[in-house]
Structure 1
């Protein structure tokens, strides 16, 4: 059995019977059969169903948001916003997929030559618990609009969310079997990837999980897209608007109780404004409301599992033993870890070197912009960076020097259906969202007529 346990109450709220290997194979075979008809459908028909999906999400945002909060502890207001964002990505691809995947004529010595974009087949998605709806929909909307089928292996602690997503697509009118939730554990993923009906795989998760999935996919000569961890720097230059940077910086680190790959985890401050910035920042941190995730004014909930809070505790305690100073927070209570700010950090401390997947930010100062760039790039990760300055022209000049998948100037790093999303280095490879994301799982076919 696979169980969902409310991390705030400790109560077992949902239980699911894991599928056998033969049941999984049957579902994949079913998806492949449905795909053969689905790939022949028009973009107009697909868009109609995707718009219906968006409508269902909007109509039921509070209901679905409550399930998210119960399963992984996300504050309810943020959970509802997550569901509403899923409706946006559905609408975006409903409106744009036909344009993105239109055949492109290429002038050559041929009578006619062009590139067409054709669906691959059944795509496997291995998805995490931290954004249990958004992570799935940002994969599923472009994948289904491209004409593929999809099977989902979701995180074991959010299987109710996974089952609801399948129900939503079916309620919207998508053919039964086109999108299916596989109730399986992590150990069963390898066999799914090796199934000859699976044509590609995408994973959002940790570096070890990404490495394992990519290795199996490579053995089977199947495409993989990986969106892995991040250790984003949030850089505040001397000329920045401090009040605005503080406001954005709070959301950049602490939304979703800090459980986000693109959260700001390293706070780099110019030494001349560090004290004034931290004074305001810590005041805002102390004002964040912690408590029951189902209460609408709660901003910091519990972490998705107590073991995750324990992991953060170990990183903080080890860093303190190495000389770091806790300015606020730092005391775990069960699955709750308070919003925490740590200063006097060095490059080798866990809170600075490793990804902290929770509400902890490590502070370091710098003297020059050159030094800030060097500190930011000194990471195995490369997902994104935020840079705050009033001189946007100069910021644009230095943007290419950051070894990241994204540079956000005077804003937190965030995903947007209109922009490609993904990283470099151990943050993964491939892109989600935008026109780039929908082309990850298509056959880019050359057609040449002499």
Structure 2
């Protein structure tokens, strides 16, 4: 962080440069012959795509992680996932705390921007909680994974797989080591793997503020408005998503039909949870019906929650949009959630963020439609997956052209950092307008 202090940059600019430098460093390391199993050099565009996908915790891959990359390369990828998921400012703060260095005011401003907070109050305390919760959750999940997979592979490999996939799942990255782009399809009906993976995805996706509220509920006996909104909307989306996927895919011979009832239920819930920016899958996404694929696009666009390891426009933004529509239909001027009224500034910010995100997805999909030889639904799915830092694909990723790989890499980068910089840019500005224009009237609808 000393380098950034010597140049005059705003917090969003420092975050963008920080993530860009991490991606470039990761690209160089992945290009080294030691990073591949065959000792060959990975082309720069493929290395850049992989490093961007890992740092932006997406999960889209152009080279199979489990077969192409060596142990060194896999370790580089999982380190990029951890740094990208928690944020490089969080990791820098960890080193400062270990070295007992004082956290400066500028550092706190950067942390406030990185964690998408409205105030600096208690920001260092929040970072300590983020690091502690992450370590505990990942360690427990890694142990359970290792015990389960020890029945399928040597204990050393099972432990390695357990740690690796616990980090990947908690950070909503979606990378896996099972080879042949299979993800978790071989464990489609396994209750242990399904439950632990979904728990990690949801824990990383609801945000550290909500995690803190849940863990400390016994002491405070209440949830903040933010936690109530996140928990209620997350639960609703998972339940509705599972029901919709179950209904659409129940008679699909390539997905749910061959499975028993437990397999149908587990896979329906897993495919409902994973679009929350996780990227892992237990069913072949390309084999899903088009209605299901389009529904997953909607879930991916919504994404996870603020201050989490996930992307998308976030559940709170979606809640405000739905609430604003409901209030307008009911003829009410105020948006009230859990007996709290939200200001118009929050509503405008949610609308602006959603529209800019929608424009980005549409623009990228239109450009890719001219550079890639694929169906529009497949391109839209890939674009939304990249923007929401999800990592699910209908099979297009490995067929992308060089231009397509670069465009998707930029989309992943924008999806990971866009909401942060937008939140800063749309924040309340100091000073008042000296005048107001006369009120105009126009017909709507």
If the length of structure 1 is used for normalisation, what is the TM-score?
0.26
Larger % of strand: which?
1
More helix by share: 2
Q: What is the TM-score of this pair, normalised by structure 2?
A: 0.26
